Structure 1
Amino acid sequence: MNPTKPTTRTIGILFLIIFVSGILVYQVLRGPFLFGDDILANAALNSDKVTISTLVSFLAGILTILISVLLLPIFKKFSSKLGYIYVAFCLLNFIAIAIESYSAISLLDFSTEFSKSDNKTTLESLSGVFYNNHRSAHFMYLLTSCLPVFVLYYSLFVGKLVPKTISIFGMVAVLLMFISVVLSIFNIKGSSDLMIPIAIIQLFLPFWLIFKGFKTPKEINLSKV
């Protein structure tokens, strides 16, 4: 029996929770109200959802750090440097989550004050500042999130822990995601299509880890023959 199987199954479940949390935050709880039309009104009317999205984001960030800690002893078997870099980037990713969440709450607070104010003209002139701050924080988080994910797939490739097809597809998907985010920053249309590969692999990998797990040392040695 593969001694790392229980660990990889746990990691797979955690990755799946993180994937679902991302959908909840950006497609259900926060995205529609802080990136859609009439942001000030929608954010105030859905303040509970935006607040919950912040808690979900922090949970996802904590789980990411937990995963990096669980993977550290596995990665150290072939590269301590990659193991610690992955932990460091996951911590950096958590900081980016905190900054984005703070900007989201700031925008929410502003929208709440806007909805209560009688002098909306003055406040409306400031809305662009809060929106742009949140937009910048969001894209900074997306760019930062590329770092640990790329190191993850690169480590899986170097350690031969999963089939090369998975790790290579993952690295390419991260690069496409990075390009997509950069294009989105400059409002270039069609960039969202480049996010499809990362969505596919980030959903596929958890199930692979849950049901297949990492290759055993024996399987890795056989693949070298």
Structure 2
Amino acid sequence: MRRSILSDRRPAVITGVLLLVGLVAGLFSVVPVIDGADYLAKASTHENQVLIGALSQLLMVVAYVGTPIVLYPLLSKHHKGVALGSVAFGIIAGVFIIMGVIILLLLLTLSHEFSNLGASNGSYVQTLGGLLREGRDLVNHVATTLAFVLAMLLFNLIFHQTKIIPRWLSVLGLLGSTLSILASLLFMIRLIGLDASYMTLNVPIAIQQLVLAIWLILKGFNRTEAI
């Protein structure tokens, strides 16, 4: 009996840890020097900040891909197609994160090139840098966010149907996912920027992710409903 309980709790604890890793890595993946006005001049002098951001994004790959994979054996018992869709979106999110890392490192390379050329001779570097930074924003805040939030939407849908976590927590996840999708779409069509409106729309899903992680680590899934 004790072995069965530990076996049931293991996926919950792993999922909770992955969700926490995703949140923490997401915070450290922010690279203020790249988002600033003088990013080409300053990125090369703040290389450690850029590299920490890149490594943090790679940790996000583990979290974003790992979460739906760990949940799949449990969720597929209730709805195999939805669980598989969650895994697919998680993997897609991981691919987009890697693309974002590559763009970030290219921006660092451009910054070094800009420093060597000087501002007066680096107009083409500035043009290319602007395009890369725009592409990074779209990859990070539209493609990656949409993919992982869709993964969360799907597994929260199963959570809601099966009650393997408290219903209020799954409802918060469904609401937060919807608002986060809305934020990415509004950013994509330029109705909002990476401003307070964007951040506010993403707060509910971040809160749900944090609370869900703590709940799973401390309490696990409802074993009666998980069977």
- TM-score scaled by structure 1? 0.87
* Residue in structure 2 matched with residue 9 of structure 1 by the alignment: 13
* Residue in structure 2 matched with residue 155 of structure 1 by the alignment: 158
Partners of 1:183 and 1:55 lie apart in 2 by 28
Q: Which runs of 5+ in 1 are unaligned?
A: none
* Residue in structure 2 matched with residue 193 of structure 1 by the alignment: 200
Partners of 2:156 and 2:217 lie apart in 1 by 17
* Residue in structure 2 matched with residue 63 of structure 1 by the alignment: 63
Letter in 2 for 1:179: L
Partners of 2:124 and 2:43 lie apart in 1 by 18
Letter in 2 for 1:40: L
- Aligned CA distance change for structure 1 residues 106 and 14 (closer, same or farther; 3 Å): same
Work out the number of aligned pairs and report it.
216
Partners of 2:127 and 2:88 lie apart in 1 by 39
Question: Which structure 2 residues correspond to residues 9-158 of structure 1 after superposition, within 5 A?
Answer: 9-26=13-30, 30=31, 32-118=32-118, 119-139=121-141, 140-158=143-161
Partners of 1:122 and 1:10 lie apart in 2 by 47
Q: Which runs of 5+ in 2 are unaligned?
A: none
Letter in 1 for 2:149: C
SS in 1 for 2:22: helix
Partners of 1:114 and 1:120 lie apart in 2 by 6
Partners of 1:191 and 1:131 lie apart in 2 by 18
Once the two structures are TM-superposed, the CA of residue 220 in structure 1 deviates from its matched residue by 7.0
Partners of 2:226 and 2:217 lie apart in 1 by 19
Cα shift readout 1:116-169 (whole Å, capped 9, x = no counterpart): 113234433433222222222223222222211111211211222111111111
Between the aligned residues of both structures, percent identity stands at 25
* Residue in structure 2 matched with residue 205 of structure 1 by the alignment: 212
- Aligned CA distance change for structure 1 residues 92 and 164 (closer, same or farther; 3 Å): same
Partners of 1:125 and 1:69 lie apart in 2 by 40
Q: Comparing 1-10 with 206-215, which one deviates more in the overlay?
A: 1-10
Q: 8 Å contact 1:93–1:144 — kept in the other structure?
A: yes
Once the two structures are TM-superposed, the CA of residue 37 in structure 1 deviates from its matched residue by 2.5
Q: Comparing 153-162 with 127-136, which one deviates more in the overlay?
A: 127-136
- Aligned CA distance change for structure 1 residues 177 and 213 (closer, same or farther; 3 Å): same
Once the two structures are TM-superposed, the CA of residue 182 in structure 1 deviates from its matched residue by 2.4
Letter in 2 for 1:159: T
Partners of 2:26 and 2:64 lie apart in 1 by 12
Q: 8 Å contact 1:90–1:148 — kept in the other structure?
A: yes
Partners of 1:198 and 1:107 lie apart in 2 by 30
Cα shift readout 1:29-66 (whole Å, capped 9, x = no counterpart): x2x12222211123222222212322221222123323
Once the two structures are TM-superposed, the CA of residue 173 in structure 1 deviates from its matched residue by 0.4
Letter in 2 for 1:114: F
Q: 8 Å contact 2:149–2:180 — kept in the other structure?
A: yes
